[in-house]
Structures are given as structure tokens and as C-alpha cells.
Amino acid sequence: MPLLNDWAAAGELIRCIDKSISSVSYHIEIVLVDDGSQQTCERSKFPTSLSAVHTIRILRLRRNIGHQRAIAVGLMHTKATISCDAIIVMDADGQDTPEGVSRLLDAYSVNGRNKAIFAERSRRLESLLFRTFYLFYKILHRALTGISVRVGNFSILPSEYLGTLAIMPELWNHYAAAVVRSKLPFTMIPITRGHRIAGTTQMNFVGLVRHGLSAISVFGDIVGVRVLIGSLVGALLAGVVIFAIISVRLVTDWAIPGWATYSVGLLTIILLQFVTIATSFTFVALSNQANFSFLPFRDYAYFVAETVDLYSHE
């Protein structure tokens, strides 16, 4: 669970998770990734007697690196230090619910425990303005990547998936998009998003836009090729129209004085713009093929300041 100042919400959420699955024989270890919180953690906000939850550990980061990168660091820390069958990724503020955890665990078992399960949001509780912008984002994401946006971070992964994600630079930008890009098998189940338990969200409009662009950046090469093809098609159409205008001007008497010159000049500028965009994205796509600078498992430790054991089952 990545968090930023949401200690009260995290404590109550852990208590509810433990209560929700205490009747089933699960051994749960919780890693709270403290993404540069300004508020100190008060142990009194966390339960002191739990059943299914055996340990609670705080992984403090050296600075705020953002929600998605905090998830990446948490996953790599888990791979390096914890032996487990599966990993659940979820928010610590309560919008990913304890009931949702139970449903993910059930679906994971039903699917043979060898496939990732993501929560598909069957109903969103945000404002109309947020949902409107989110719809625009989904359309843009589909147009640029060819992939529909249907899931968030709330999911359960088989532990062996971490071996693949550990060498994917894309994980540093967006967790869910990296899983999709990895082509590891996954499925989705509908889970309603819950309400924040306490506090206020740290995410503003700029943060949401950055979050969306991070997801698109994981498919940067696909976006580059699509934009390249679109630019070439646009340039071809502009060239065809220029040829048609010149033909009309020279062969027929339909031309209005001056219109052909202005039209050809404007279309030539558009043509050059398309060619410039196509050339730029060609070089971007080619350079990204050689970009292998960040490896999550190799580099995550640089961002970890310390680990603190908050609770241990006796």
C-alpha cells in the first residue's frame, strides 16, 4: 500500500481487512510504502491485535516519488525480502475496499492461482466533472495506444510475476500499464470503488494529468508509430489536395483569382508540419528502442531510507 500522510485511514483499513478475511486461513504481511509523508506515523492509529495480518512494515522512501513509483519500489522490496505466494496492490485510503480484497482472493483461487486479477471499476463515485475528463482520457488512450483503460492499481499478482516486472523499466512509470505491456496473463472482475476513510486526497488535476500521461508513456513506441502513420496519412492527403488545386487552376476555368495561391500555401505549411511530426516521432521511437537505463530491481534500493516494523503477530 503506497501512502502519503494517510496513516489514520491505513490503520482503519488494515483493521477492516483483517476482520473481513479472518475466517480464512491466510497469512498476510502488509508493506506500507511511505512516499515522503510530512506527518509522522502514530502507532496508536494502528491495531495491536490482529488475526490474519501477521506483520505490518513501513517502507520509508527518501523523498516523494509519486504513487506509481512508490508501488514499483514496494514490489521490488517485496521480491527481495518477503517469500509469498501472491501480492495485492491497493491504495491505503479505503477506496480499495476490504470486500474487494476478499473478492480478489476468491477470484485468484478460482483461476488456479497462476493469473493476475485486476479490479475493473463497475461504478465510480467521483464527481461528474472528473468522470467527464476521465472519459476524454479513455478516448485519447484508446486512440493513441489501441488499448482500453479499464483497470487501476487494485489487483493481485502471483509472486512469480515479479521476476518479469523486475526488469521492466515501464514499471517505473505505471504499474497497471506495465503488467498489460508485459503480456503476462491477467483477467478482471468488477469491483465497486469505495469511499476515502479519512483525510483528503493529495491528488490534484495536474497530478491526474501526469498520472494519465505516465500510463500512455509505457506504450511510447506504439504511440510513436500510430502518430507517425497518422502524420504520413495527413501529409499524403495534403499533397493530394495540393495536386488537385493546381490541376484545377491550370486545366479548368473554375479558379477564383488568388484562391489557389492561398490554398496551396496553407496546405504546404500543413504538409510540412505533418512531415516534421512524422520525422520527430520516428527518431523518438527509434531512440526508445535503445533506452534501458532504469531497472526496477537493480535501482529501487536507492530510494529506500529505512524499514520500520510496526506490528508483528505473536
- Of the candidates 167, 155, 151, 144, the residue with the CA atom closest to the CA atom of residue 216: 144
Residue 117 reports pLDDT greater than 80: yes
Q: Report the range out of 38-42, 98-102, 276-280 with the highest average pLDDT.
A: 98-102
Average pLDDT score over the chain: 85
Residue 157 reports pLDDT greater than 80: yes
Q: Look-up: residue for cell 465510480?
A: 124
Which pLDDT score, from 0 to 100, does residue 71 have?
Answer: 96
Q: How confident is the model over 15-31, as a mean pLDDT?
A: 88
Residue 99 reports pLDDT greater than 60: yes
2-220+295-312 in CATH: which number?
Answer: 3.90.550
Banded pLDDT at 96 (limits 50, 70, 90): very high
- More confident: 81 or 199: 81
| Maximal CA-CA distance, the chain | 95
Q: How confident is the model over 87-107, as a mean pLDDT?
A: 93
> Tell me: the pLDDT tens digits for 122-139?
665 566 777 777 788 788
> Tell me: the pLDDT tens digits for 161-187?
999 999 999 899 899 999 999 999 999
> Tell me: the pLDDT tens digits for 276-307?
877 776 666 555 554 557 899 999 999 999 99
In whole angstroms, give the CA distance from residue 277 to residue 142.
20
Is the whole-model pTM more than 0.95?
no
Q: Which amino acid is at 109?
A: S
Which pLDDT score, from 0 to 100, does residue 62 have?
Answer: 95
Contacts with 262 (C-beta within 8 Å, 6 or more apart), sequence order: none
Banded pLDDT at 42 (limits 50, 70, 90): confident
DSSP characters over 60-89: EESS---HHHHHHHHHHHHHHH---SEEEE
Which pLDDT score, from 0 to 100, does residue 149 have?
Answer: 74
Q: How confident is the model over 96-102, as a mean pLDDT?
A: 93
> Tell me: the pLDDT tens digits for 241-268?
888 878 877 777 766 666 777 787 888 8
- More confident: 43 or 308: 308
Residue 21 reports pLDDT greater than 60: yes
116 phi and psi, to 5 degrees?
A: -70, 145
Which pLDDT score, from 0 to 100, does residue 185 have?
Answer: 94
Q: Are 62 and 89 in contact (CB under 8 A)?
A: no
C-alpha cell at 271: 504538409
